[in-house]
């Protein structure tokens, strides 16, 4: 019940361990196509270019950034936690000129703040935001901001690592141009793949690049031929076959439950956890909390490491510590996908009461 990897259902583990088959085997090709179709449903998009990058979540960020932007481009990054800061680092690696909009860790951005930075940097090609900041639990509303960016003609990049499968991520309705996520959070699949989706407008921008993408493995132009190629599928790399088995099954479970029912379950479990945490005197960090990631201040005088290792040793429960400037100051309790159950909520509360004594 930490910040991920979250618990993986047995069905997904069984799918993961099916005998490995060739990546050119017709059976696998069909399964990969089906996985991409299911991803579109979960991202709520018709984007043809929706697929799992063959690496972990941070690779999704690198893939999106390095394809959509090129050296010399300007971009705005909204930073209110570790992963916003990561986006700045990754962009700078690719020679992108970054305009930062900083906010206190744990806060969210208002539409006005974003409108202001957009007007100050009209030549920025894209604005990037973290929908679900795993380091603080902040939940950033996107709909209004996205509408405004769309009207300004600015591309919108979204980090949905900790929201996809737990909170609505409306790629089409919100006009998101490029979004990335990871399998080990609310999709309840082991880490190893980074689902991404690019809008047709984003694909056009990529096709009009002045220079080729500055890396080969994440080059969407080539990956597009592979993932959309169907019969003419061009060999690019060998995808992680068994991880695709697992992701397909994880997505099947999500679609069986239904996205709305799943979001409702996350909301309900978050409310129950929040009520319980506040009852024992723990205070939430973010001004708008994610359901999937609950970040609370550690009460004064309490030994962070001691409590967490007692939780792990006595209860077999992992909760997360703070990252960077929040190290030692917060705990992060995940309610992600398969883990967001009443039994888990009640157990983590009971365990916390015991370990805080």
**Residue ranges for the binding site?**
332
CB of 241 to a copy of itself, least distance (A): 6
**CB of 148 or CB of 323, closer to a copy of itself:** 323
Contacts with 338 (C-beta within 8 Å, 6 or more apart), sequence order:
6, 7, 8, 9, 188, 253
Contact 333, 340 (CB under 8 A): no
CA neighbor of 135 nearest in space, from 208, 81, 76: 81
Secondary structure (3-state) at 48:
coil
CB of 174 to a copy of itself, least distance (A): 26
**CB of 4 or CB of 81, closer to a copy of itself:** 4
Feature table: binding site for substrate: 332
Contact 78, 149 (CB under 8 A): no
Contacts with 270 (C-beta within 8 Å, 6 or more apart), sequence order:
289, 290, 291, 292, 294, 335, 340
Locate the DSSP E strands across 234-340.
293-297, 320-321, 330-334
**CB of 19 or CB of 281, closer to a copy of itself:** 19
Q: Which residues of the chain form contacts with a copy of itself (CB under 8 A)?
A: 2, 4-5, 7-8, 13-14, 16-25, 54-59, 61-62, 66, 86, 89-90, 93-95, 182, 184, 190-192, 212-219, 235-243, 246, 312, 318, 323
CB of 312 to a copy of itself, least distance (A): 8
CB of 246 to a copy of itself, least distance (A): 8
**CB of 49 or CB of 336, closer to a copy of itself:** 336
Backbone dihedral region for residue 327 (phi beyond 0: left; psi -120 to 50: alpha; all else: beta):
beta
**CB of 214 or CB of 325, closer to a copy of itself:** 214
CB of 217 to a copy of itself, least distance (A): 5
Contact 165, 290 (CB under 8 A): no
CB of 140 to a copy of itself, least distance (A): 21
Secondary structure (3-state) at 357:
coil
**CB of 26 or CB of 153, closer to a copy of itself:** 26
Contacts with 256 (C-beta within 8 Å, 6 or more apart), sequence order:
none
d(CA 268, CA 253): 19
**89's tokens:** 């680092």
**CB of 109 or CB of 322, closer to a copy of itself:** 322
CB of 54 to a copy of itself, least distance (A): 5
Report in angstroms the alpha-carbon separations of 189 from 48, 112, 115, 240, 339: 23, 37, 37, 14, 11
């Amino acid at each position: 019940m930490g910040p991920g990897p979250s618990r993986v259902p047995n069905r997904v583990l069984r799918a993961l361990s099916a005998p490995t088959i060739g990546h050119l085997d017709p059976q696998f090709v069909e399964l990969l196509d089906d996985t991409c179709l299911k991803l579109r449903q979960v991202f709520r998009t018709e984007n043809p270019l929706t697929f799992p990058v063959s690496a972990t979540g941070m690779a999704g960020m690198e893939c999106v950034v390095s394809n959509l932007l090129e050296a010399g481009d300007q971009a705005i990054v909204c930073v209110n936690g570790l992963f916003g800061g990561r986006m700045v680092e990754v962009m700078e690696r690719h020679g992108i000129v970054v305009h930062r909009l900083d906010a206190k860790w744990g806060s969210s951005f208002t539409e006005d703040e974003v409108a202001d930075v957009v007007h100050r940097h009209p030549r920025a090609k894209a604005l990037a935001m973290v929908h679900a900041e795993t380091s603080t639990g902040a939940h950033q509303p996107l709909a209004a901001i996205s509408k405004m960016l769309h009207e300004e003609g600015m591309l919108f990049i979204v980090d949905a690592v900790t929201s996809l499968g737990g909170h609505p991520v409306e790629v089409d309705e919100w006009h998101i141009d490029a979004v990335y996520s990871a399998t080990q959070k609310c999709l309840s699949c082991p880490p190893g793949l980074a689902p991404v989706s690019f809008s047709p407008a984003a694909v056009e921008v990529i096709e009009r690049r002045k220079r080729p993408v500055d890396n080969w493995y994440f080059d969407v132009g080539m990956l597009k031929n592979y993932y959309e190629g169907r019969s003419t599928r061009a060999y690019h790399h060998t995808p992680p076959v068994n991880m695709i088995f697992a992701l397909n099954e994880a997505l099947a479970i999500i679609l069986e439950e239904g996205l709305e029912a799943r979001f409702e379950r996350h909301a309900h479990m978050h409310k129950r956890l929040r009520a319980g945490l506040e009852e024992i005197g723990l205070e939430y960090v973010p001004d708008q909390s994610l359901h999937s990631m609950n970040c609370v201040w550690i009460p004064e005088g309490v030994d962070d490491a001691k409590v967490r290792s007692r939780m792990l040793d006595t209860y077999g429960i992992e909760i997360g510590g703070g990252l960077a400037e929040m190290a030692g100051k917060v705990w992060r309790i995940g309610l992600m996908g398969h883990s967001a159950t009443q039994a888990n909520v009640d157990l983590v509360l009971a365990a916390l009461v015991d370990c805080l004594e």
